[in-house]
Chain A
Amino acid sequence: MSQTDTKTIPVWDIFIRVFHWTLVLGVSTAAVSGFLLRPTWISLHVWAGTSAAVLLLARLLWGIWGSKNARFAGFIKGPREVIKHLKELRAGTAARHLGHNPLGALMIVALLGTVFLLLLTGATALGGVFKTGPLGFLFSYDLGTTILRVHYVLAIILVLLVTLHILGAVFEGMRTKENLVKAMITGKKEARESDHDLPEVSSRPLWVTLVFGATLALLVWGGIWFSAKPPFGVPTGPMNPTYAEECSACHIAYAPSLLPAKNWGTLMSQLDNHFGEDASLDQKSVDEITTWLFANAADSVDTKPAHVFSRTNPTYPVAITETPFWKNTHRTIPDAVFTRAPIYDNGNCNACHKDAESGAFYPANISIPKETPQ
């Protein structure tokens, strides 16, 4: 053992390294799309989260049956060990841990735990607020918005934890005079005499692959099955034929969930001056349409549009485009965009929201069309 050239030993196996850097990619994509990009990027955000969920599942299994430095049972230490490590750090006597040191192990648990909670709250918020994904059948809008705030706080916590994790790696690298980023790429560290190492175990990659494949298949199947269930608090009945015939002769068939019943009543009693035009109808059709609108109005629907448009503008109680939410969410779009072909008017929701007539208004379905010659 008295060789002059340094001997390197494998520390991080290929799984751990690939997991680490793909999780970096997934979390970065989720963070950028969640914090910085417009809501129309929600699909990218959801896919980044879904990828992180798959990675996390694999990491949990590798933490049980993986190599010695990957196993939770090996590197997670109790408070006594952590305090001992801290004291040795202060005294300058702490020896190097080839794998995670007791303090670093705490960080791994915190990072993985926070990512796990982000996935749970993300899927819950997606279900409650947008009535989509595997939990769309289960949760109310009110619960969804509350959980969305928790999701946001957790995301900030994760950013802080990642920052601390990087600072910790820089500190430990300087203390032990090694490049820890490089070690997470090559997987190798220089062997030293006083190193703390863990007892050898044999990893079970085939078994982990089998359990991972089975669990993933079950989760995907369950996800598809639950996603297909009718969304919570959203009527799925057909559109009234008289409403479709009469009202969509001039404009899109606005979803009845976009206004409260009271406001629909006001609108239906003023058809002779309907947004500056005469849209009079025979009384029988008016009664039939009003009854159907009342039964499917915002008051009885749990979608996000039904909730946000229920705060109407007292000056224009029948105009969705005059509600505070509409004005706020469309404030960055120049007026000229709304008047150009093929949009013509801000009441033509369908021109940009491909799912407007369903009343869903999912952000990923927004696409502002290019101007067309009139």
Chain B
Amino acid sequence: MKFKLIIATTAVALVGAVVAANTQRDAILSGYAAQAGVSGFSADAGRQLFMSQNTGGKPATPSCSTCHTSDPRNVGHTRVGKVIQPMAVSRNPERFTDPAKVEKWFGRNCRSVLGRECTPTEKGNFITYMMSL
């Protein structure tokens, strides 16, 4: 009886956490949609951005895949060997749930890879791609 209760509580908590994370992520996406003035985003365009090779940014980081590997479901590593947890939401449900963290890393990494800020459309496409895997 007690055991079943623990299982049930844990399951509810887990589902609750996932629902909360999804809600937070949806809110972030809606924010970018509002900024961009669009109604939806393209996972395919996000994939192209992720895989693109660029020359505008810092020479050591021409692409997102430089550190995150070409499959966002994989564990990546920074240039100095620190492990980066997967970007794909299916592998790492905490991704894109903290707006300040999302903005901090888009800010840094868009400037490092592209040499400029990303547009709200690019950010929305990127997150949509990470949710599609």
Contact = CB atoms under 8 A, between A and B. Distances in A.
Contacts of A342: 81
Contact of A276 (B61, B82, B107): B61
Interface stretch (A35-43, A153-161, A205-213, A245-253): A245-253
A51 interface: no
Nearest to B111: A278
A237 B30 CA distance: 44
B79 A344 contact: yes
Interface string A330-350: 000000000000111101100
Contact of B60 (A272, A276, A281, A344): A276
Contacts of B109: 278
Nearest to A277: B112
A276 B108 CA distance: 12
B77 A344 contact: yes
B85 to A, nearest CB: 11
A250 B61 CA distance: 14
A181 interface: no
Nearest to A282: B104
Contacts of B59: 276
B79 A345 contact: yes
B78 interface: yes
A278 B58 contact: yes
Contacts of A348: 80-82
Interface in B45-59: 58-59
Contacts of B58: 273, 276-278
B77 A277 contact: no
A248 B81 CA distance: 11
A280 B81 contact: no
A218 interface: no
A272 B108 CA distance: 8
Contacts of A278: 58, 107-109, 111-112
Given A276-B58, A278-B107, A278-B108, 13 more contacts: A248-B82, A249-B82, A251-B82, A276-B59, A276-B60, A276-B61, A277-B61, A278-B58, A279-B108, A344-B78, A345-B80, A347-B80, A348-B82
Interface of A: 248-252, 272-273, 275-281, 342-345, 347-348, 351
Interface of B: 58-61, 77-82, 104, 107-109, 111-112
7 contacts: A252-B80, A276-B58, A277-B61, A277-B108, A280-B111, A344-B77, A344-B78
